[in-house]
Amino acid sequence: MGHGWEGVVLKLMRGRDFEFTVTAVEEVTEHYRRVRFTDGGMLAETGVHPTMWVRVWFDNAGKPHQRAYTLVDPDAATGTFSLEFALHDGRASDWAREAVPGDTVQATVQGSAFTAPDPLPRRMFVIGDSASVPAVNSLLAALPEVPATVWLETQHDSDEQLPLRADPEWHQVHRLPRQEAGAHLVAEVREALPPLLTDPADAFVWIACDTATTRTLTQFARKELALPKQRVNALGYWRP
């Protein structure tokens, strides 16, 4: 399967293509699936960094369709990692539901990077949802010495079981059901975050929710809370 015009653009931007092979599949919940892969030589070539993600290509009625996923437990020595899929309607989720060992999928590495805030913040404020759990886990593991408050928006009751790797001594986690297209999460963060923010220049806010919610919370952090640009990292993960 070709990658269409998007693939051409990624090639021009020095994207590198690899083929992944499924080795195992785990149903974490009925709405969340973990798929284990061998990497086709990717990690030996690219190395590994926190919150590292790849663009995975799926066939959508003969047309290329790509979605970005964060690597879970990447191991360069063995050339293995997992991807976790929050299942919903869509071609990527359909593929994950049907995946079995031996299946292959194409992927492109382009655009993934991580720069730790410098100096390290006294506290992180992390806002995500079920789709960004792998990135949240990677971020918390990358900065284990930084206490964090985490707001996690959930779509289903079973999302309470999602494998959030938080340390109770360092991380305060608030799970909130998705309501009013993300407005409930926005309202909760707008109320709870300001009293915790003693010094905007000494904090770090990381946001990865749906595009509209991410945009709203980013504007809140930058404009209303006056956080410096380098102290806010935001990425809209999906569109409702």
Looking at residue 200, its pLDDT comes to: 84
Residue 238 has pLDDT above 80, yes or no: no
Give the domain CATH number at 53: 2.40.30.10
Q: Clarify whether residues 154 and 177 are in a common domain.
A: yes
Residue at 239 is within a domain:
no
Q: Clarify whether residues 193 and 222 are in a common domain.
A: yes
Residue at 84 is within a domain:
yes
In the chain, the number of structural domains is: 2
Q: What is the pTM of this model?
A: 0.90
| E-state strands within the chain | 16-29, 32-38, 53-60, 63-70, 72-75, 80-86, 104-109, 123-129, 148-154, 171-177, 203-208, 232-234
Q: pLDDT digit string (tens) for 29-57? A: 999 999 999 999 999 999 999 999 999 99
Identify the DSSP state of 238: B
Give the confidence band of 171 by pLDDT, cuts at 50, 70, 90.
very high
Give the domain CATH number at 133: 3.40.50.80
Q: Which of 83, 109, 135 is the last residue of a domain?
A: 109
Q: Which of 109, 140, 164 is the last residue of a domain?
A: 109
Q: Clarify whether residues 103 and 127 are in a common domain.
A: no
Residue at 173 is within a domain:
yes
Domain with 14 in it: 4-109
Q: pLDDT digit string (tens) for 78-117? A: 999 999 999 988 899 999 999 999 999 999 998 788 888 8
Q: pLDDT digit string (tens) for 156-165? A: 999 999 989 9
Give the confidence band of 172 by pLDDT, cuts at 50, 70, 90.
very high
Q: Clarify whether residues 140 and 229 are in a common domain.
A: yes
Residue at 212 is within a domain:
yes
